[in-house]
Amino acid sequence: MSKNRFMCGWLMLAAMVVLSRAACAQWETIQPGFEYRKFTLSGPVEAFVVRMDVSNTTAQQNNAIDSMIAQGQFYKTGLPNGGRETVSSMVNRYNDSVGYYWQTWGMRNRILCAINGDYWERETYPSGPYTGRPESGQVQGGWFCRRYDEFSGGSGFLYSVWGVPAIGGDVVNGGGAAPQKVIFADSSEVNLPKVNLERGSDDLVLYTPQWANSTKTASGGVEVVMRVNRPALPLPHGTTSDSCVGTILEVRNGTGDAPIPFDCAVLSGTGSYAATLLSKCMVGQTIRLRMIVRDYGFSGRTPVHPPQDWTKAYGSIGVDREMLIASQITNLPSPDATRDPRTGVAFNSSYVFFVVVDGRRSGSIGMTFGELGLFMRDTLGATHGCSLDGGGSSAMWVEGRGIVNVPSDGSERATVNGLMMVAAQPLSKTLTFSGGAPVKTIASTPVRTGPGLNYPVLTTAGANQAGTITSHSMNGARASGQNWWLFSYGSTSGWVTESSLQSNAGVSPAEFYLN
Protein backbone atom coordinates (compact mmCIF):
# COMPACT_ATOMS: atom_id res chain seq x y z
CA MET A 1 0.00 0.00 0.00
CA SER A 2 1.37 3.42 -0.91
CA LYS A 3 2.07 6.00 1.76
CA ASN A 4 -0.55 8.37 0.30
CA ARG A 5 -3.22 5.65 0.28
CA PHE A 6 -2.33 4.75 3.87
CA MET A 7 -2.58 8.38 5.01
CA CYS A 8 -5.89 8.86 3.17
CA GLY A 9 -7.31 5.77 4.80
CA TRP A 10 -6.09 6.88 8.23
CA LEU A 11 -7.67 10.32 7.85
CA MET A 12 -10.98 8.81 6.72
CA LEU A 13 -10.95 6.48 9.72
CA ALA A 14 -10.16 9.39 12.07
CA ALA A 15 -13.01 11.43 10.59
CA MET A 16 -15.38 8.47 11.01
CA VAL A 17 -14.34 8.14 14.66
CA VAL A 18 -14.95 11.85 15.30
CA LEU A 19 -18.32 11.77 13.59
CA SER A 20 -19.21 8.58 15.43
CA ARG A 21 -18.37 10.22 18.75
CA ALA A 22 -20.64 13.16 17.89
CA ALA A 23 -23.42 10.86 16.75
CA CYS A 24 -23.20 8.63 19.84
CA ALA A 25 -23.32 11.54 22.29
CA GLN A 26 -26.74 11.80 23.89
CA TRP A 27 -28.75 14.57 25.45
CA GLU A 28 -28.47 14.42 29.23
CA THR A 29 -31.43 15.62 31.29
CA ILE A 30 -30.54 18.37 33.77
CA GLN A 31 -34.15 18.41 34.90
CA PRO A 32 -37.35 17.83 32.89
CA GLY A 33 -37.45 20.40 30.09
CA PHE A 34 -33.68 21.10 30.12
CA GLU A 35 -31.06 18.94 28.41
CA TYR A 36 -27.28 19.24 28.00
CA ARG A 37 -25.01 17.81 25.32
CA LYS A 38 -21.37 18.11 24.34
CA PHE A 39 -20.62 17.73 20.63
CA THR A 40 -17.20 16.65 19.35
CA LEU A 41 -16.99 17.55 15.66
CA SER A 42 -14.39 17.36 12.94
CA GLY A 43 -11.84 20.14 13.02
CA PRO A 44 -11.56 19.27 15.88
CA VAL A 45 -14.30 21.40 17.44
CA GLU A 46 -16.01 21.03 20.80
CA ALA A 47 -19.45 22.58 21.16
CA PHE A 48 -21.52 22.75 24.34
CA VAL A 49 -25.30 23.04 24.09
CA VAL A 50 -28.23 23.27 26.49
CA ARG A 51 -31.74 23.17 25.07
CA MET A 52 -34.88 24.30 26.89
CA ASP A 53 -38.28 22.91 25.97
CA VAL A 54 -40.84 25.59 25.08
CA SER A 55 -43.24 23.29 23.21
CA ASN A 56 -45.91 22.54 25.79
CA THR A 57 -48.03 24.81 27.94
CA THR A 58 -46.81 23.46 31.26
CA ALA A 59 -43.16 24.00 30.35
CA GLN A 60 -43.92 27.50 29.05
CA GLN A 61 -45.35 28.46 32.41
CA ASN A 62 -42.32 27.23 34.35
CA ASN A 63 -39.36 27.58 31.97
CA ALA A 64 -37.99 31.04 31.31
CA ILE A 65 -35.04 32.96 29.89
CA ASP A 66 -33.88 36.13 31.58
CA SER A 67 -30.79 38.33 31.49
CA MET A 68 -28.13 38.95 34.12
CA ILE A 69 -26.24 42.19 34.88
CA ALA A 70 -22.62 42.15 36.02
CA GLN A 71 -22.38 43.24 39.67
CA GLY A 72 -26.18 43.52 39.65
CA GLN A 73 -26.28 47.15 38.50
CA PHE A 74 -25.46 49.54 35.64
CA TYR A 75 -23.95 52.25 37.85
CA LYS A 76 -20.34 51.09 37.95
CA THR A 77 -18.48 53.76 39.92
CA GLY A 78 -16.61 52.20 42.80
CA LEU A 79 -17.43 48.60 41.92
CA PRO A 80 -14.68 45.95 41.85
CA ASN A 81 -13.23 44.71 38.55
CA GLY A 82 -14.51 47.72 36.63
CA GLY A 83 -18.09 46.62 37.26
CA ARG A 84 -17.64 43.37 35.32
CA GLU A 85 -18.30 39.84 36.61
CA THR A 86 -17.84 36.23 35.50
CA VAL A 87 -20.76 34.07 34.41
CA SER A 88 -20.29 31.84 37.48
CA SER A 89 -20.43 34.85 39.79
CA MET A 90 -23.54 36.21 38.07
CA VAL A 91 -25.18 32.80 38.53
CA ASN A 92 -24.42 33.01 42.27
CA ARG A 93 -25.98 36.47 42.30
CA TYR A 94 -29.20 35.60 40.47
CA ASN A 95 -29.82 31.98 41.42
CA ASP A 96 -33.03 31.71 43.49
CA SER A 97 -33.76 35.40 42.89
CA VAL A 98 -37.36 36.56 42.57
CA GLY A 99 -38.76 37.64 39.21
CA TYR A 100 -41.98 38.50 37.39
CA TYR A 101 -42.28 35.56 35.02
CA TRP A 102 -45.84 34.76 33.89
CA GLN A 103 -46.74 38.16 35.34
CA THR A 104 -46.48 37.00 38.92
CA TRP A 105 -44.08 38.77 41.29
CA GLY A 106 -42.27 36.35 43.55
CA MET A 107 -41.55 33.35 41.33
CA ARG A 108 -37.92 32.34 41.88
CA ASN A 109 -35.22 31.57 39.35
CA ARG A 110 -33.63 28.15 39.55
CA ILE A 111 -30.82 28.62 37.04
CA LEU A 112 -30.15 25.54 34.90
CA CYS A 113 -27.78 27.15 32.38
CA ALA A 114 -26.11 30.52 31.87
CA ILE A 115 -23.89 32.02 29.16
CA ASN A 116 -22.00 35.24 28.63
CA GLY A 117 -23.79 38.02 26.80
CA ASP A 118 -23.15 41.25 24.92
CA TYR A 119 -19.98 43.10 23.90
CA TRP A 120 -18.60 45.79 26.20
CA GLU A 121 -19.33 49.50 25.87
CA ARG A 122 -16.44 51.97 25.60
CA GLU A 123 -16.50 55.52 26.90
CA THR A 124 -15.17 56.69 23.55
CA TYR A 125 -14.81 54.77 20.31
CA PRO A 126 -12.91 52.96 18.99
CA SER A 127 -10.33 52.57 21.78
CA GLY A 128 -11.49 54.41 24.88
CA PRO A 129 -11.74 52.72 28.29
CA TYR A 130 -14.58 50.30 28.97
CA THR A 131 -17.54 51.50 31.03
CA GLY A 132 -18.41 48.09 32.49
CA ARG A 133 -21.81 48.29 30.80
CA PRO A 134 -23.13 46.29 27.82
CA GLU A 135 -22.72 47.76 24.38
CA SER A 136 -26.41 47.46 23.56
CA GLY A 137 -29.76 47.32 25.38
CA GLN A 138 -31.22 45.04 28.01
CA VAL A 139 -34.48 43.85 29.54
CA GLN A 140 -34.29 42.07 32.90
CA GLY A 141 -37.20 40.48 34.74
CA GLY A 142 -39.58 42.47 32.55
CA TRP A 143 -37.86 45.79 33.27
CA PHE A 144 -36.86 47.79 30.19
CA CYS A 145 -33.63 48.89 31.85
CA ARG A 146 -31.27 49.85 29.01
CA ARG A 147 -32.02 51.17 25.54
CA TYR A 148 -30.79 49.56 22.34
CA ASP A 149 -28.79 51.56 19.83
CA GLU A 150 -31.26 52.95 17.33
CA PHE A 151 -31.03 51.70 13.73
CA SER A 152 -27.65 50.17 14.53
CA GLY A 153 -27.96 47.06 12.36
CA GLY A 154 -29.70 44.96 14.98
CA SER A 155 -30.99 44.87 18.51
CA GLY A 156 -31.20 41.75 20.62
CA PHE A 157 -32.48 38.32 21.46
CA LEU A 158 -35.71 38.53 23.46
CA TYR A 159 -37.96 36.16 25.36
CA SER A 160 -41.48 37.23 26.34
CA VAL A 161 -43.47 36.65 29.53
CA TRP A 162 -45.49 34.17 27.46
CA GLY A 163 -42.45 32.06 26.54
CA VAL A 164 -41.97 33.30 22.96
CA PRO A 165 -38.38 33.80 21.66
CA ALA A 166 -37.40 36.24 18.91
CA ILE A 167 -34.40 38.06 17.45
CA GLY A 168 -35.06 41.77 17.07
CA GLY A 169 -34.22 43.85 14.01
CA ASP A 170 -33.45 47.54 13.64
CA VAL A 171 -35.33 49.30 16.43
CA VAL A 172 -36.26 52.75 17.63
CA ASN A 173 -36.81 52.80 21.39
CA GLY A 174 -36.99 56.36 22.59
CA GLY A 175 -36.29 58.36 19.44
CA GLY A 176 -38.55 60.53 17.32
CA ALA A 177 -40.38 57.71 15.54
CA ALA A 178 -41.15 55.84 18.76
CA PRO A 179 -40.87 58.07 21.83
CA GLN A 180 -41.22 56.53 25.25
CA LYS A 181 -43.59 58.53 27.41
CA VAL A 182 -44.39 59.61 30.95
CA ILE A 183 -48.11 60.23 31.41
CA PHE A 184 -49.20 62.23 34.46
CA ALA A 185 -52.42 62.02 36.47
CA ASP A 186 -53.95 64.91 34.51
CA SER A 187 -53.33 62.96 31.24
CA SER A 188 -50.62 65.36 30.10
CA GLU A 189 -47.45 63.67 28.91
CA VAL A 190 -43.78 64.22 28.26
CA ASN A 191 -41.29 62.26 26.19
CA LEU A 192 -38.65 60.38 28.19
CA PRO A 193 -35.11 61.33 27.09
CA LYS A 194 -33.07 58.80 29.14
CA VAL A 195 -33.30 55.45 30.93
CA ASN A 196 -30.67 54.50 33.55
CA LEU A 197 -27.98 56.97 32.54
CA GLU A 198 -26.24 59.76 34.41
CA ARG A 199 -28.47 62.83 34.76
CA GLY A 200 -27.43 66.03 33.01
CA SER A 201 -28.70 69.60 33.03
CA ASP A 202 -32.28 70.18 31.84
CA ASP A 203 -32.73 66.43 31.77
CA LEU A 204 -35.27 63.73 32.65
CA VAL A 205 -34.14 60.20 33.50
CA LEU A 206 -36.09 57.10 34.46
CA TYR A 207 -34.19 55.06 37.04
CA THR A 208 -35.19 51.43 37.60
CA PRO A 209 -33.88 48.99 40.24
CA GLN A 210 -31.20 47.79 37.78
CA TRP A 211 -29.40 51.14 38.03
CA ALA A 212 -28.18 50.96 41.66
CA ASN A 213 -29.47 51.12 45.21
CA SER A 214 -30.23 54.81 44.60
CA THR A 215 -30.18 57.32 41.74
CA LYS A 216 -26.63 58.52 42.59
CA THR A 217 -27.60 62.06 41.63
CA ALA A 218 -26.22 65.22 43.21
CA SER A 219 -28.38 67.60 45.16
CA GLY A 220 -30.67 69.76 43.07
CA GLY A 221 -33.46 68.85 40.71
CA VAL A 222 -36.64 66.94 41.57
CA GLU A 223 -37.04 63.19 42.03
CA VAL A 224 -40.37 61.38 42.08
CA VAL A 225 -40.35 57.94 43.73
CA MET A 226 -43.22 55.69 42.68
CA ARG A 227 -44.23 52.14 43.53
CA VAL A 228 -45.23 50.33 40.33
CA ASN A 229 -47.84 47.64 39.76
CA ARG A 230 -45.40 45.66 37.59
CA PRO A 231 -42.01 46.11 35.89
CA ALA A 232 -41.81 48.65 33.06
CA LEU A 233 -42.31 46.09 30.28
CA PRO A 234 -41.50 46.90 26.64
CA LEU A 235 -44.52 47.40 24.38
CA PRO A 236 -44.82 47.63 20.58
CA HIS A 237 -45.23 50.86 18.65
CA GLY A 238 -48.84 51.98 18.25
CA THR A 239 -50.13 50.54 21.50
CA THR A 240 -52.27 52.60 23.85
CA SER A 241 -51.48 50.30 26.77
CA ASP A 242 -49.23 51.29 29.65
CA SER A 243 -46.04 49.46 30.56
CA CYS A 244 -46.77 50.05 34.22
CA VAL A 245 -48.64 52.36 36.58
CA GLY A 246 -46.82 53.92 39.51
CA THR A 247 -48.27 55.41 42.69
CA ILE A 248 -46.22 58.36 43.92
CA LEU A 249 -44.66 57.71 47.33
CA GLU A 250 -42.43 60.78 47.58
CA VAL A 251 -41.56 63.99 45.74
CA ARG A 252 -38.01 65.01 46.64
CA ASN A 253 -37.11 68.61 45.83
CA GLY A 254 -33.40 69.41 45.75
CA THR A 255 -32.08 66.48 47.78
CA GLY A 256 -31.08 64.02 45.02
CA ASP A 257 -29.91 60.41 45.43
CA ALA A 258 -33.34 58.87 45.95
CA PRO A 259 -33.39 55.17 46.98
CA ILE A 260 -34.78 52.71 44.38
CA PRO A 261 -36.65 49.78 46.01
CA PHE A 262 -37.13 46.63 43.88
CA ASP A 263 -40.79 47.42 43.08
CA CYS A 264 -40.25 51.12 42.45
CA ALA A 265 -38.94 53.48 39.80
CA VAL A 266 -37.74 57.06 40.08
CA LEU A 267 -38.22 59.97 37.67
CA SER A 268 -35.35 62.42 38.12
CA GLY A 269 -35.54 65.85 36.48
CA THR A 270 -33.45 69.00 36.24
CA GLY A 271 -34.14 72.39 34.65
CA SER A 272 -37.51 72.59 32.88
CA TYR A 273 -38.18 68.91 33.64
CA ALA A 274 -37.79 69.56 37.36
CA ALA A 275 -40.42 72.28 37.11
CA THR A 276 -42.74 69.91 35.24
CA LEU A 277 -42.36 67.20 37.90
CA LEU A 278 -43.06 69.69 40.70
CA SER A 279 -46.21 70.98 39.02
CA LYS A 280 -47.54 67.58 37.92
CA CYS A 281 -46.73 65.23 40.81
CA MET A 282 -48.24 64.85 44.26
CA VAL A 283 -47.98 61.98 46.74
CA GLY A 284 -50.77 59.47 46.08
CA GLN A 285 -51.22 60.36 42.41
CA THR A 286 -50.44 57.94 39.60
CA ILE A 287 -47.90 58.10 36.80
CA ARG A 288 -48.05 55.83 33.75
CA LEU A 289 -45.05 54.74 31.73
CA ARG A 290 -45.20 53.68 28.09
CA MET A 291 -41.93 52.00 27.10
CA ILE A 292 -42.29 51.69 23.32
CA VAL A 293 -40.04 49.64 21.05
CA ARG A 294 -40.58 49.98 17.30
CA ASP A 295 -38.98 47.13 15.36
CA TYR A 296 -38.38 47.58 11.63
CA GLY A 297 -36.82 44.18 10.98
CA PHE A 298 -34.33 44.02 8.08
CA SER A 299 -35.88 44.48 4.66
CA GLY A 300 -32.48 44.15 2.96
CA ARG A 301 -31.67 40.69 4.32
CA THR A 302 -32.04 37.51 2.30
CA PRO A 303 -34.40 36.20 3.53
CA VAL A 304 -36.20 39.35 4.69
CA HIS A 305 -36.23 39.58 8.48
CA PRO A 306 -39.72 40.87 9.38
CA PRO A 307 -40.36 43.27 12.28
CA GLN A 308 -40.56 41.49 15.63
CA ASP A 309 -43.14 41.81 18.39
CA TRP A 310 -41.58 43.16 21.60
CA THR A 311 -44.83 42.91 23.61
CA LYS A 312 -43.91 42.21 27.22
CA ALA A 313 -40.36 41.06 26.51
CA TYR A 314 -39.20 39.53 29.78
CA GLY A 315 -35.48 39.01 29.21
CA SER A 316 -33.31 40.46 26.42
CA ILE A 317 -29.73 41.43 25.63
CA GLY A 318 -27.98 42.80 22.56
CA VAL A 319 -26.55 40.40 19.99
CA ASP A 320 -23.60 40.63 17.64
CA ARG A 321 -25.42 39.42 14.52
CA GLU A 322 -28.32 37.25 13.47
CA MET A 323 -27.05 34.67 10.99
CA LEU A 324 -29.90 32.17 10.81
CA ILE A 325 -33.33 33.44 9.78
CA ALA A 326 -36.14 31.10 8.70
CA SER A 327 -33.56 28.29 8.26
CA GLN A 328 -31.40 30.36 5.90
CA ILE A 329 -27.87 31.59 6.61
CA THR A 330 -27.59 35.37 6.39
CA ASN A 331 -25.63 38.45 7.55
CA LEU A 332 -22.16 36.88 7.54
CA PRO A 333 -19.00 39.01 7.51
CA SER A 334 -16.95 38.99 4.33
CA PRO A 335 -14.59 37.28 4.48
CA ASP A 336 -15.83 34.84 7.12
CA ALA A 337 -12.64 32.88 7.57
CA THR A 338 -11.68 33.34 11.23
CA ARG A 339 -12.40 30.46 13.60
CA ASP A 340 -12.78 31.62 17.19
CA PRO A 341 -14.62 30.69 20.37
CA ARG A 342 -18.31 31.52 19.86
CA THR A 343 -21.39 32.04 22.01
CA GLY A 344 -24.86 32.01 20.50
CA VAL A 345 -28.59 31.54 20.98
CA ALA A 346 -30.85 29.63 18.60
CA PHE A 347 -34.42 28.40 18.60
CA ASN A 348 -37.17 26.57 16.74
CA SER A 349 -40.79 25.88 17.61
CA SER A 350 -39.83 23.35 20.30
CA TYR A 351 -36.57 24.53 21.88
CA VAL A 352 -34.33 27.44 22.72
CA PHE A 353 -30.63 26.51 22.49
CA PHE A 354 -27.69 28.08 24.32
CA VAL A 355 -24.47 27.32 22.41
CA VAL A 356 -20.81 27.80 23.34
CA VAL A 357 -18.02 26.68 21.00
CA ASP A 358 -14.45 26.42 22.25
CA GLY A 359 -11.55 27.73 20.19
CA ARG A 360 -7.92 28.87 20.23
CA ARG A 361 -6.70 25.51 21.53
CA SER A 362 -5.52 22.29 19.92
CA GLY A 363 -8.54 20.30 21.06
CA SER A 364 -11.00 22.80 19.56
CA ILE A 365 -10.18 25.32 16.83
CA GLY A 366 -13.45 27.26 16.98
CA MET A 367 -15.97 28.15 14.28
CA THR A 368 -16.59 30.89 11.75
CA PHE A 369 -19.95 32.64 11.93
CA GLY A 370 -21.15 30.63 8.95
CA GLU A 371 -20.11 27.37 10.59
CA LEU A 372 -21.93 28.37 13.77
CA GLY A 373 -25.09 29.07 11.75
CA LEU A 374 -24.82 25.73 9.95
CA PHE A 375 -24.29 23.91 13.25
CA MET A 376 -27.37 25.56 14.69
CA ARG A 377 -29.45 24.64 11.65
CA ASP A 378 -28.14 21.26 10.48
CA THR A 379 -27.14 19.68 13.78
CA LEU A 380 -29.49 21.29 16.29
CA GLY A 381 -32.45 21.78 13.96
CA ALA A 382 -32.83 25.47 14.80
CA THR A 383 -34.63 27.84 12.44
CA HIS A 384 -33.28 31.09 13.91
CA GLY A 385 -29.93 31.89 15.49
CA CYS A 386 -27.64 34.72 16.54
CA SER A 387 -24.19 35.22 18.03
CA LEU A 388 -23.18 37.01 21.22
CA ASP A 389 -19.75 38.15 22.42
CA GLY A 390 -17.20 35.39 21.76
CA GLY A 391 -13.46 34.88 22.14
CA GLY A 392 -12.22 34.86 25.71
CA SER A 393 -15.67 35.86 26.96
CA SER A 394 -17.31 32.60 25.80
CA ALA A 395 -18.43 30.59 28.83
CA MET A 396 -21.27 28.20 29.68
CA TRP A 397 -22.36 27.30 33.21
CA VAL A 398 -24.61 24.25 33.75
CA GLU A 399 -26.27 23.24 37.02
CA GLY A 400 -24.36 20.42 38.71
CA ARG A 401 -21.39 20.84 36.36
CA GLY A 402 -20.25 24.45 36.67
CA ILE A 403 -18.36 25.87 33.68
CA VAL A 404 -18.41 23.07 31.10
CA ASN A 405 -16.22 24.58 28.36
CA VAL A 406 -12.57 25.64 28.44
CA PRO A 407 -12.46 29.48 28.19
CA SER A 408 -9.67 30.53 25.86
CA ASP A 409 -8.17 32.92 28.45
CA GLY A 410 -7.42 29.88 30.61
CA SER A 411 -10.09 30.89 33.12
CA GLU A 412 -13.41 32.72 33.04
CA ARG A 413 -13.28 36.29 31.82
CA ALA A 414 -15.28 38.88 33.73
CA THR A 415 -17.84 40.36 31.36
CA VAL A 416 -20.79 42.76 31.39
CA ASN A 417 -23.97 40.66 31.25
CA GLY A 418 -25.37 37.27 30.34
CA LEU A 419 -28.40 35.10 29.70
CA MET A 420 -29.83 32.44 31.99
CA MET A 421 -32.25 29.57 31.43
CA VAL A 422 -34.35 29.10 34.54
CA ALA A 423 -37.03 26.83 35.93
CA ALA A 424 -39.28 29.36 37.62
CA GLN A 425 -40.22 28.12 41.10
CA PRO A 426 -43.51 29.12 42.74
CA LEU A 427 -43.71 31.87 45.34
CA SER A 428 -42.97 30.52 48.82
CA LYS A 429 -43.51 32.51 52.04
CA THR A 430 -43.36 32.32 55.82
CA LEU A 431 -45.79 33.94 58.25
CA THR A 432 -43.30 34.58 61.03
CA PHE A 433 -44.12 38.27 61.45
CA SER A 434 -47.08 40.50 60.62
CA GLY A 435 -47.30 44.04 59.33
CA GLY A 436 -46.61 46.58 62.08
CA ALA A 437 -44.91 44.02 64.36
CA PRO A 438 -42.12 45.48 66.50
CA VAL A 439 -38.84 43.69 65.80
CA LYS A 440 -35.13 44.20 66.27
CA THR A 441 -31.99 42.98 64.54
CA ILE A 442 -30.04 40.14 66.16
CA ALA A 443 -26.72 41.30 64.72
CA SER A 444 -25.40 43.85 62.25
CA THR A 445 -27.23 43.12 58.99
CA PRO A 446 -27.33 44.49 55.43
CA VAL A 447 -30.52 46.28 54.43
CA ARG A 448 -31.23 45.71 50.73
CA THR A 449 -33.46 47.37 48.17
CA GLY A 450 -35.31 44.10 47.49
CA PRO A 451 -35.83 40.56 48.77
CA GLY A 452 -32.70 38.70 47.65
CA LEU A 453 -28.92 38.86 47.46
CA ASN A 454 -29.12 40.12 43.86
CA TYR A 455 -30.45 43.46 45.11
CA PRO A 456 -27.86 46.04 46.22
CA VAL A 457 -27.27 46.99 49.83
CA LEU A 458 -28.94 50.25 50.83
CA THR A 459 -27.32 50.54 54.26
CA THR A 460 -26.40 48.40 57.26
CA ALA A 461 -28.49 48.18 60.41
CA GLY A 462 -26.54 47.70 63.62
CA ALA A 463 -27.14 44.97 66.17
CA ASN A 464 -30.25 45.40 68.35
CA GLN A 465 -31.66 48.03 65.97
CA ALA A 466 -35.34 48.40 66.87
CA GLY A 467 -37.92 48.87 64.13
CA THR A 468 -41.13 47.50 62.67
CA ILE A 469 -42.28 45.23 59.87
CA THR A 470 -43.84 47.31 57.09
CA SER A 471 -46.80 45.66 55.38
CA HIS A 472 -45.95 44.36 51.89
CA SER A 473 -47.29 41.56 49.70
CA MET A 474 -43.80 40.05 49.44
CA ASN A 475 -43.14 39.85 53.19
CA GLY A 476 -41.82 36.43 54.14
CA ALA A 477 -40.97 35.60 50.50
CA ARG A 478 -38.25 33.05 49.79
CA ALA A 479 -35.27 34.26 47.74
CA SER A 480 -31.53 33.50 47.68
CA GLY A 481 -32.11 30.60 50.08
CA GLN A 482 -33.65 32.81 52.80
CA ASN A 483 -36.93 34.52 53.69
CA TRP A 484 -37.16 38.30 53.59
CA TRP A 485 -39.07 41.06 55.36
CA LEU A 486 -39.53 44.79 54.77
CA PHE A 487 -37.95 46.34 57.86
CA SER A 488 -38.31 50.02 58.78
CA TYR A 489 -36.48 52.07 61.38
CA GLY A 490 -36.27 55.84 61.54
CA SER A 491 -36.39 57.12 57.96
CA THR A 492 -34.86 53.90 56.55
CA SER A 493 -36.84 51.09 55.00
CA GLY A 494 -35.45 48.02 53.26
CA TRP A 495 -35.34 44.24 53.05
CA VAL A 496 -33.57 42.04 55.58
CA THR A 497 -33.39 38.29 56.13
CA GLU A 498 -35.76 36.63 58.56
CA SER A 499 -32.83 35.05 60.39
CA SER A 500 -31.50 38.51 61.26
CA LEU A 501 -34.71 39.56 63.06
CA GLN A 502 -36.47 38.68 66.28
CA SER A 503 -39.51 40.04 68.03
CA ASN A 504 -38.77 43.01 70.23
CA ALA A 505 -39.61 40.87 73.23
CA GLY A 506 -36.53 38.86 72.36
CA VAL A 507 -38.33 35.66 71.43
CA SER A 508 -38.41 34.59 67.80
CA PRO A 509 -41.98 33.63 66.79
CA ALA A 510 -42.72 30.17 65.39
CA GLU A 511 -42.52 29.76 61.61
CA PHE A 512 -45.45 28.71 59.50
CA TYR A 513 -44.78 27.89 55.87
CA LEU A 514 -46.96 28.57 52.83
CA ASN A 515 -45.99 26.73 49.65
Taking only the tens place, the pLDDT of each residue in 377-433 is: 999 999 999 999 999 999 999 999 999 999 999 999 999 999 999 998 889 999 999
Q: Please provide the average confidence, as pLDDT, over all residues in the chain.
A: 92
Tell me: do 141 and 243 sit in the same domain.
no
Question: How many CB atoms lie under 10 A from the CB of residue 278?
Answer: 14
Tell me: do 502 and 401 sit in the same domain.
no
* 133 confidence band (pLDDT: 50, 70, 90): very high
Give the pLDDT confidence score for residue 505 in this predicted structure: 60
The amino acid that residue 315 corresponds to is G
Give the pLDDT confidence score for residue 439 in this predicted structure: 97
Question: By C-alpha distance, which of 333, 332, 348, 378 is closest to 47?
Answer: 378
How far is Cα 97 from Cα 114, in angstroms, rounded to an integer? Answer: 14
Tell which of 425, 456, 482 closes a domain. 425
Q: What is the DSSP letter of 375?
A: I
Calculate mean pLDDT across residues 45-71. 87
Q: What is the DSSP letter of 443?
A: S
Tell me: do 277 and 359 sit in the same domain.
no
The amino acid that residue 502 corresponds to is Q
Q: Is 443 exposed, middle or buried (0-12, 13-18, 19+ CB in 10 A)?
A: exposed
- For 277, 282, 351, the CA distances from 186, given in Å and listed in that order, are 12, 11, 46
pTM of the model: 0.92
Give the pLDDT confidence score for residue 126 in this predicted structure: 85
157, pLDDT greater than 90: yes
* 508 confidence band (pLDDT: 50, 70, 90): very low
Taking only the tens place, the pLDDT of each residue in 87-113 is: 999 999 999 999 887 677 888 999 999
Give the pLDDT confidence score for residue 16 in this predicted structure: 38
Give the pLDDT confidence score for residue 100 in this predicted structure: 86
Q: Is 467 exposed, middle or buried (0-12, 13-18, 19+ CB in 10 A)?
A: buried
Question: Residue 190: which residues within 8 A CB-CB, separation 6 or more?
Answer: 181, 182, 184, 204, 273, 276
| Tally of domains in the chain | 3
How far is Cα 154 from Cα 140, in angstroms, rounded to an integer? Answer: 19
Q: Is 188 helix (H, G, I), strand (E, B) or coil?
A: coil
Calculate mean pLDDT across residues 161-186. 94
Q: Is 451 among the domain residues?
A: yes
Tell me: do 118 and 12 sit in the same domain.
yes
Q: Is 174 among the domain residues?
A: no
* 56 confidence band (pLDDT: 50, 70, 90): low
Residue 101 phi/psi, 5-degree rounding, is -65, 145
Q: Is 209 among the domain residues?
A: yes
How far is Cα 427 from Cα 509, in angstroms, rounded to an integer? Answer: 22
Strand residues in 161-203 grouped as ranges (E): 165-167, 170-172, 181-183, 189-191, 194-195
Tell me: do 416 and 436 sit in the same domain.
no
Q: Is 176 among the domain residues?
A: no
Give the pLDDT confidence score for residue 162 in this predicted structure: 87
Tell which of 235, 262, 293 closes a domain. 293
Give the pLDDT confidence score for residue 42 in this predicted structure: 96
Domain of 476 in residue numbering reads as 429-514
* 451 confidence band (pLDDT: 50, 70, 90): very high
Question: Worst-scoring range by mean pLDDT, 128-142, 396-410, 480-494, 496-510?
Answer: 496-510
Beta carbons of 134 and 452 less than 8 angstroms apart:
no
Give the pLDDT confidence score for residue 101 in this predicted structure: 77
Q: Is 491 among the domain residues?
A: yes
